[in-house]
Structure 1
């Protein structure tokens, strides 16, 4: 992974179907989940990101739409009812209570993800429980993919790796928390296209 200096406040696409989401705050998927440290009953390890309102989501949304078209085809009618992995934290139960406009995404993997520090060096697993906590600023590498099985369809994010950035005050749950703003300048979000789709 790139060093911290290369991180930006916008999602960046690569030529390997991986999207780099920079300067967001890591949280475990739920208070009862083992997160990335322990697999669930399905063998998956998961985490979530809380993304500041000013973050440029245009590349991330484009990657999600591309995965949807690859899976369901280009006919918008076939996308109806599909789940979008990008949502507002305020609409997601225990993630409610953060500042308005904060975006929530979840990602999962069936393997232990690569976790590196700001310099790109692997983090010692023995200190992960203190280094990776709810509220830590991170950069996450994900790959969007479509699914359609057992009556459920949509797009999800596979987790490729996490890069730790700055420390921050830990975030609480189920109450109003000071989300904070990353110290670096954050560019304005791209204007939404005139014609919206299920993935915008």
Structure 2
């Protein structure tokens, strides 16, 4: 497989290799009574300078493009999506030495494998696997909150990873059985 490199076009970023957590990509999920959306927490290693640089540049562009929503100036306390896992989730080793952001969308993302073939089985893409995503950053002003958010585009699964949250996959729990008999008493 070719090396996965981040790229940016305006406020749209295609990440490098990241880890997925709280993945709700096949069915919309509502949090605390809010509208149901497709969503994922994107865990980005601090060593992935290219992805982080692309995200920061896209966030800056979203701030500029969204000045009208933000009161024609960029507030000093503006909320931005990129957060430090070491500071905000110190007890979760999945976030160690990583940044993270949450991305969501009302629209169902396209989900493909490393060969760009559609993934139809929701169990194939889970919290803990690795992939890359397209994200679109935009300014918002709602209910007194102002900031930049990450919209979820599409997802490409690159490889399996240790499942997060105690979930395990059936193929990891069992070994193949050579012979199965119908005789329960025998």
Normalised by the shorter chain, which TM-score bucket? 0.7 to 0.9
Question: Is 1:58 aligned to residue 29 of structure 2?
Answer: no
Q: CA deviation at 1:75?
A: 10
Distance 1:75 1:45 in 2: 29
Contact 1:18-1:144 within 8 A present in 2 as well: yes
* Structure-2 residue corresponding to 1:69: 64
How far residue 52 of structure 1 moved from its aligned partner, in angstroms, is: 0.9
Which structure 2 residue ranges, 5 or more long, are not aligned?
167-186
Quick one: distance in 1 between partners of 2:35 and 2:91?
A: 23
Q: 2:18 pairs with 2, 15, 24, which one?
A: 24
- Unmatched segments (≥5 aa) in structure 1: 30-34, 174-200
- The structure that has the greater radius of gyration is 2
Root-mean-square deviation over aligned CA pairs:
2.6
In 2, Cα distance between equivalents of 1:53 and 1:76:
32
Contact 1:72 1:79 in 2 (8 A): no
TM-score by length of 2: 0.75
Number of equivalences: 159
| Distance in 2 separating the partners of 1:95 and 1:48 | 17
Structure 2: distance between partners of 1:86 and 1:68: 14
TM-score (ref. length: structure 1): 0.70
CA distance in structure 2 between the aligned counterparts of 1:76 and 1:91, rounded to whole angstroms: 31
